[in-house]
Structure 1
Amino acid sequence: MRRWTAVPMALALAGIGAAVAPVTASAVTPTAVVTVCETGWGSLTKTGGAATEDYRYMTGVRTGTHPCYDRMVVDVPGSSPAKPVKYRIEYQDSPIRTTTGDEPIPVAGGKVLNIVVWAHTYDADWNRTYPMRTGEKLPGLDFTGYPTFVEARGGGMHAGETQIGLGVRDRLPYRVFQLDNRLVIDVAHTWGTTS
């Protein structure tokens, strides 16, 4: 009898085991996060500001990367949307030419944004305010992991105009605007509306 009791019990346990078989997780596809980017900035030459009697000088150049664009900020104390610093920015091929036109400066990247800002790199007492050197990489900038920016080099300073060559991956849309004490340049990662 014990055998018959053991067999039905074993079958019953086998049935219970089948009923509580482990449930396997089905593959879950995460919802992709899509960033909608403004891209109507265009890639033609951009100018702004006006000549001023105020003595303007640069104190720094900073960069950062965002979901839709890479950003360069040129610090110019005393400038503002109401008193903008004068600038001219346009795409060129490498090498760019210095503001005096006599020295070619190779800049890495598919295209180069030639940035000219009407601000000195020293103050009215001839103290250096930004340590940029013609032809050399801008100090303190590292573009590792940036989708768009490749390299930035000093293009020199002449007659109050400071030049920067910003190497980018390709000719991409960009915008320029001014905030208190700074000129902001954003270069999009793509021509599309998503990133």
Structure 2
Amino acid sequence: MPALFLRKTGPLIVSAILMALPGAAHPWDLNGTRAITLEGRDGTTVPIGTVSFHPQGARTAFVLHLDHDRFKDFFLSMREFKCLEGPEVLCHVPYPHRNPATVTRDDLGWLEHSLLFLYKSPAEFGARLWNGVYYRMRVTADGIVGTAQAVDLNQIGAPPEVDTRPPYGTADTTDIDPASRWLGTLKIR
């Protein structure tokens, strides 16, 4: 009797277990409007805007919208930046050149380049582009997670020779302890 019961209900039980696992039945997809937050080493969560994904064949177009009401205007090195204030000042650095604004699940480079930042201490004057923060992103079952890496943003001062490929690759960024930055994690959900 137990063998007959398991034979008849076993597939249903396995299906129910798989459906209950996070991400097993419905992987996170690049579609629709999603919230962007930065998370701090102290547990602080700072919502900074949204990104809208629009599938277009093999790639997905995206439109970034930062909520400028959450940022404070800073005039650094003869240029205006939108910054967040805390134990350090974190300023958004818009990618200054044309780009296709598309991604895939395995290639989030243009989204990473749209969310470049620099940091400075509250007492420092001017923008130091070599203090760049690059959030290396990956798609998870719950959304996109970006981990802070160090990058020299001076490299994007001149237009790239090829504008179909993001200029920063893994060789251009340096792993850092995310806790070394005030807001070391970026999440899109």
| TM-score for the superposition, normalised by structure 2 | 0.29
More helix by share: 2
Larger Rg: 1
Which has the higher relative contact order, 1 or 2, with Cα contacts under 8 A spaced 6 or more apart? 1
More strand by share: 2
